[in-house]
Amino acid sequence: MKFRMATAILALTASVAFAGSHGGENPMVGGAAMFADKNIVENAVNSKDHTTLVAAVQAAGLVETLQGDGPFTVFAPTNDAFAKLPAGTVETLLKPENKDQLVKILTCHVVGKAVMAEALNQMIKDDGGNHPVPTLGGCTLQASYEGDMIKLTDENGNSATVTIADVKQSNGVIHVIDTVMLPKG
């Protein structure tokens, strides 16, 4: 399997554009149709913008988990998000001896329930502009708004933006982000 990665995983800024609800239609992601009756993995493998994420999920042994019943919310970094990391980071994380670290990073992008953008927007408003989002990896992301964009901030103070929201899956929802979120430390 070839991995096209220019740089690695330690950059932490992603701003998320609020796309709102798409009714019954899912947006295209990475040039591919996303089907609400397929699971997260089945859809992600078709996105040309998520080949690095798919390779990382495979290397981490998380395919079966993300094909499970869920529901899950996945904040899915694009290839360009992974490319913002320092050179060699992705390649290093994909090595078998670094599997635990890779699992930690990836699960810091996964929430154990389906959260659509409209619901997240309301939680942000209800919490006065900043809502904590606990992840399955033990990280807590902070969700807020910058203009009309949902912004996620990791425990290191790095931010990401949701560029495509509400990509419905049979076992949850994907929100595409432009930066890899990293655990503290």
Per-residue pLDDT 10s for the chain (185 aa) are: 222 222 222 222 222 233 333 335 788 888 888 888 998 998 999 899 999 999 999 999 999 999 999 899 999 999 999 999 999 999 999 999 999 999 999 999 999 999 999 999 999 999 999 999 999 999 999 999 988 889 999 999 999 999 999 999 999 999 999 999 999 97
Which residue, 14, 11, 13, 17, is CA-closest to 120?
Answer: 17
At which residue do the structure tokens 């432009």 appear? Answer: 178
pLDDT of the residue at 120: 94
- For 14-177, the fitting CATH number among 3.20.20.70, 3.40.190.80, 2.30.180.10, 3.30.360.10 is 2.30.180.10
The structural domains of the chain, with segments of one domain joined by +, span 14-177
Which residue, 185, 162, 163, 152, is CA-closest to 12?
Answer: 152
pLDDT of the residue at 20: 34
pTM of the entire predicted model: 0.84
- Give the CA dihedral 33, 36, 41, 47, nearest 10 degrees: 10
At which residue do the structure tokens 């904590």 appear? Answer: 132
Tell me the CA distances in angstroms from 31 to 34, 101, 178, one per residue in order. 9, 30, 16
pLDDT of the residue at 138: 94
Tell me the CA distances in angstroms from 13 to 63, 65, 162, one per residue in order. 26, 26, 11
